[in-house]
Structure 1
Amino acid sequence: MLSNFQQKIIETKETKINVVKSGTGFPLLLLHGYPQNHLMWHKIAPDLAKDFTVVATDLRGYGDSSKPQGDLDHRYYSKRIMAQDQVEVMSQLGYSEFYLVGHDRGARVAHRLTLDYPEKVKKLALLDIIPTYELYQTSDREFASSYYHWFFLIQPYPLPETLIGANPEYFLQACLQSWSRDFAAFTPEVLAEYIRCFNNPATIHATCEDYRAAATIDLIDDELDLNQKIQCPVLVLWGNQGIIGRKYDVLSIWRQRAVNVIGKGIECGHFLAEENPDQTYLEIREFLLNYNASNFDL
């Protein structure tokens, strides 16, 4: 799946992060979403490694990274702490600056990382999200119906952990089927790895804590930074057949949060890098290699 990538575990101040790395060129950090791990990039990471030094990680709580027990204020899974993990990983690999691409939960970590460490991120790509604060402020029946898990996973421990733990494989596959438009996009080998990792009760708990943090401590952090705009160039991509693409004016929303934003919809559901890897790769590559405000029209 990522046979040419080297794998290692990097120990940060608070946890251990599973990392794979390959390629040459300017460093590029890839952050995955829920309920997956770094393998969500397997269709595009080898091609990206032809132009960049690609680093793909498992976020804390996911894949083969450590899974700290949650605390009362959910700080251990705040996007600020999860972003700090990734900065420490890149620092230990010798990278003080890098490009950053995130999907879903990884994009939310990437958003926070770019706000907290603006000197680190030279270009940012966000896949199929609008800001967490915006989603909670504008929540309605359509959003809650499509993203029901946002309200289920934040329920107090151990309710969602117990219910998901009764049949983790069923829940994971139901999520992938619900948010994608082509379940066949998830190859059997990668799907088996998603299932292996998600079958761990510690993963189920950690991922619930990720969402609990998003509904509590992350909102406090986000509200304090509402007037802080991302300064580096930003590419936003979304699936035209997903709720983000159908319901929201994605570019308009992100242009309130960043000074230099371009983007477009892609014909797929939520999982761009797996459902439409060719276009996702081309858009990311073109943005990272060739974008500047005067010559790029996406």
Structure 2
Amino acid sequence: MLTARVAVTGGGLAGFDAVRLDFGEGRLVGEVSVRPCAPAVLLLHGHPQTHLIWHHVAPALAEWFTVVALDLPGYGDSRPSDPGAAAMTKRAMASDLDEGMRRLGEQHGFGPYAVVAHDRGARVAHRLLADRPDRVTRALLMDIAPTLDMYEGTTRGYATAYWHWFFLIQREPLPERLVGADPDAYLDAVMGSRHAGLAAFDDEALAAYRAALRDPEVVHWMCEDYRASAGPDLELDRADREAGRVVTTPLRVLWGARGIVERYFDPLALWSALATDVSGRALDCGHYLPEEAPAEVLTDVQEEFLAPLLT
């Protein structure tokens, strides 16, 4: 069984090497630990964070797998390859990330890969599954219901709890100016209002999240991420449903029993309507599963999700 451990050392993941991939006008930045001949796993983070959300999880997974943890395009030190109007659609973000994994695979000898993703990263992973199912062997999505269902199922309580969903989609530059005026206050309001508060986060990791959000570019791309989710991403999701397209890749979903998704949605039922092979459960935590409940996450990832890749 994998065991959790804190592994933020010097602002990075213990035992990992820094990686930067440049293409187009953008770049992907993160860290990688290569285990020869082992299956590859891509780790994707959520909002408003960076790949360091995996500091408890990634080093333990690296004992078994080649592990790649990347900042999402537009977040942390990564930037979208084509900084146009569609840069932060989940289709474009997924394309950038898959190109990064293709290049790393050519360098380190792996092909299709598994994906473990939280929050915004999980929404990118969903589009990756829809657009490029041949590239992903298995996927695990943490604490999200499908984007279309969440917008169409909005209630007063949900909109109050997830207020940033509706604030960040406002026309530029209003949200950029307001977040940029006090990014620490914004981060505290979003992350500190969840079940575990800010005490759930390692000091070095939290400092890295704050530093990233102080970059006006990150704030802009963050807003564009949410604007895309409320616009073109919904159109893509509707088109998939109208065409009867479903995810056929094995899919596992985890969510926090003390979180907003649990309170207002039924993640397992909603994902089961969109995929043919779905399993999952709630963990005894809030929204930030990799940092609030790393031991449970590691146990589930190894025993329920990635075990078939080791046989």
Q: TM-score range by the shorter chain?
A: over 0.9
Listed as ranges, the matches of 1:1-298 within 5 Å are 1=8, 2-24=13-35, 25-66=38-79, 71=84, 74-94=85-105, 95-226=110-241, 227-291=244-308
Cα distance in 1 for partners of 2:182, 2:31 equals 29
Is contact 2:117-2:125 (8 Å) kept? Answer: yes
Cα distance in 1 for partners of 2:133, 2:102 equals 15
The alpha-carbon deviation at position 165 of structure 1 amounts to: 0.9
The alpha-carbon deviation at position 51 of structure 1 amounts to: 1.0
The alpha-carbon deviation at position 68 of structure 1 amounts to: 7.3
Amino acid at match of 2:250: P
User: SS at the partner of 1:43?
Assistant: coil
Cα distance in 1 for partners of 2:81, 2:160 equals 30
Is contact 2:80-2:96 (8 Å) kept? Answer: no
Aligned length: 290
Is contact 2:122-2:144 (8 Å) kept? Answer: yes
Cα distance in 2 for partners of 1:69, 1:138 equals 32
CA RMSD of aligned residues (A): 1.5
Q: Would you identify which runs of 4 or more consecutive aligned residues in structure 1 move more than 6 Å?
A: none
Is contact 1:16-1:66 (8 Å) kept? Answer: yes
Cα distance in 1 for partners of 2:82, 2:33 equals 31
Cα distance in 2 for partners of 1:100, 1:239 equals 19
Is contact 1:181-1:269 (8 Å) kept? Answer: yes
Query: Which runs of no fewer than 5 residues in structure 2 stay unpaired?
Result: 1-7
Cα distance in 1 for partners of 2:212, 2:81 equals 15
What do the CA deviations read for 1:249-279 (whole angstroms, capped 9, x no partner)?
A: 1111110011010000001110000001100
Match of 1:296 in 2: none
Structure-1-length-normalised TM-score: 0.94
The alpha-carbon deviation at position 281 of structure 1 amounts to: 1.1
The worse-fitting range, judged by mean Cα deviation, of 221-230 and 31-40 is 221-230
Cα distance in 2 for partners of 1:198, 1:257 equals 33
Cα distance in 2 for partners of 1:180, 1:64 equals 28
Cα distance in 2 for partners of 1:14, 1:117 equals 23
User: SS at the partner of 2:69?
Assistant: strand
Cα distance in 1 for partners of 2:307, 2:277 equals 15
The alpha-carbon deviation at position 140 of structure 1 amounts to: 1.1
The alpha-carbon deviation at position 67 of structure 1 amounts to: 5.7
Structure-2-length-normalised TM-score: 0.90
Is contact 1:126-1:235 (8 Å) kept? Answer: yes
What do the CA deviations read for 1:175-202 (whole angstroms, capped 9, x no partner)?
A: 1111242421211111111111110011
What do the CA deviations read for 1:134-175 (whole angstroms, capped 9, x no partner)?
A: 111111111101110010000000000111111001111221
What do the CA deviations read for 1:5-26 (whole angstroms, capped 9, x no partner)?
A: 1112102345200021014220
Is contact 1:8-1:19 (8 Å) kept? Answer: yes
Query: Which runs of no fewer than 5 residues in structure 1 stay unpaired?
Result: 293-298
Of all paired residues, the percent bearing the same amino acid is: 43
Distance 1:221 1:200, change over 3 A: same
Cα distance in 2 for partners of 1:14, 1:135 equals 32
Amino acid at match of 1:234: L
